[in-house]
């Protein structure tokens, strides 16, 4: 028997809670569903379902198999849908969530080229600095920076950025330049309130040791551009990505506070719910961004990558 059909029959029995409803969903007879499941159990040499007169439920082994089987079936469905969608022209409303600083400085400038290339797509770009639930809030995709949370979402890496501690020359002249990580405890550290690590900076020491530094609460902001402005104004030290501070650094408005420390690298990702990549509008935009950001230098976003 076809292995995917066996998987599908078993997964539908688990999803529907019984053979009758699974048969209705698949459009085949109840006996055919039962035959597929029995064949699967025989091939695997394990009982996957507990069967009683009142209910059907997966065994412990069956539940573990179901999780993997459902992923395989979803991937197979996406593969079929991808072939179909690749023959369709990208069109429709594309809803994107992106952090304000990245959206304003880097996404907005390239949107005009995308819309010229794909005139049948309408873009709704929502700028915010909170974690957005893509599915429940109706987004097609998001741009996310840094370590991704473990979830059912799919992701494609577009490029990278690096994080450094920066401060204005005036601040460093007044308060001195920290020479080692422990010196940061006596400085005014500007806090990005939406970061996943809370009020902690994760820094790598020259030895390679991972260190954590707690921010002071001197200033807490939920927007990266505002933190950069605060650092330029001399309010303290900010820990920011290069895509945000590169221009200010080149103009001498801020300095690298501890250039001897290894740079922290962060990925920049297009994140989307399962199945969305098969939609031509989503695939077109992600492919466009991958090309637009392909030559970005993670250390200095003003110059192409080597």
CB 161 within 8 A of CB 268: yes
DSSP for 252-267 reads TSSEES-TTSPPEEEE
Of 62, 128, 63, nearest in space to 100 by CA: 128
At 197, the pLDDT band (50, 70, 90 cuts) reads low
CATH class (in words) of the domain with range 3-85 = mainly alpha
pLDDT score recorded for residue 300: 75
Res. 239: pLDDT tops 70: yes
Question: pLDDT tens-digit profile of 117-137?
Answer: 999 999 999 998 888 888 889
Residue-range domain boundaries for the chain: 3-85, 91-306
pLDDT band at 10 (very low <50, low <70, confident <90, very high): very high
Q: Which CATH number fits domain 91-306: 3.40.30.10, 3.30.60.50, 3.40.190.290, 3.40.1160.10?
A: 3.40.190.290
Token digits of residue 84: 């179909």
Token pair listed for 209: 């040791």
How far is the C-alpha of 235 from the C-alpha of 161, rounded, in Å?
A: 24
Confidence band, pLDDT 50/70/90 cuts, at residue 305: low
Distance spanning both ends of the chain, measured CA to CA: 53
- Lowest average pLDDT, out of 42-51, 209-218, 224-233, 240-249, goes to 209-218
Q: What is the pLDDT of residue 1?
A: 56
pLDDT score of 119: 92
For the chain, give the percent of residues with pLDDT over 90. 53
Specify which of 66-75, 77-86, 189-198 reaches the highest per-range mean pLDDT: 66-75
Q: In the predicted model, is pLDDT for residue 306 greater than 60?
A: no
Cβ–Cβ under 8 Å, residues 162 and 305? no
Task: Return the structure tokens found at 272.
Answer: 């989307």
Quickly state the pLDDT bin for 274 (edges 50, 70, 90).
Answer: confident
Find the mean pLDDT for residues 284-304. 84
Predicted structure pTM score: 0.69
């Amino acid at each position: 028997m076809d292995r995917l059909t066996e998987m599908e029959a078993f997964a539908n029995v688990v999803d529907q809670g019984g053979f009758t409803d699974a048969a209705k969903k698949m459009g085949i007879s109840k006996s055919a569903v039962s035959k597929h499941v029995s064949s699967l159990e025989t091939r695997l040499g394990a009982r996957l379902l507990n069967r009683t007169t009142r209910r059907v439920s997966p065994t412990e082994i069956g539940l573990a198999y179901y999780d993997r089987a459902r992923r395989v079936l979803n991937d197979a469905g996406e593969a079929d849908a991808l072939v179909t969608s690749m023959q369709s022209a990208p069109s429709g409303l594309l809803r994107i969530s992106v952090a304000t600083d990245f959206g304003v400085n880097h996404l907005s400038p390239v949107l005009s080229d995308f819309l010229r290339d794909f005139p049948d797509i309408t873009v709704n770009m929502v700028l915010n600095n909170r974690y957005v639930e893509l599915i429940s809030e109706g987004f097609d995709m998001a741009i996310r920076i840094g370590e991704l949370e473990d979830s059912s979402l799919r992701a494609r890496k577009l490029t990278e950025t690096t994080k450094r501690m920066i401060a204005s020359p005036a601040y460093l002249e007044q308060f001195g330049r920290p020479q080692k990580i422990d010196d940061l405890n006596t400085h005014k550290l500007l806090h990005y309130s939406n970061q996943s690590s809370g009020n902690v900076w994760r820094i790598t020491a020259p030895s390679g040791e991972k260190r954590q530094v707690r921010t002071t609460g001197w200033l807490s902001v939920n927007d990266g551009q505002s933190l950069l402005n605060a650092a330029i104004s001399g309010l303290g030290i900010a820990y920011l990505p290069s895509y945000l501070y590169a221009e200010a650094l080149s103009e001498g408005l801020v300095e690298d506070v501890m250039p001897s420390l290894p740079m922290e690298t962060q990925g920049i990702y297009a994140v989307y719910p399962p199945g969305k990549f098969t939609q031509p509008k989503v695939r077109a935009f992600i492919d466009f961004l991958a090309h637009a950001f392909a030559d970005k230098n993670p250390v200095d976003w003003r110059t192409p990558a080597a």
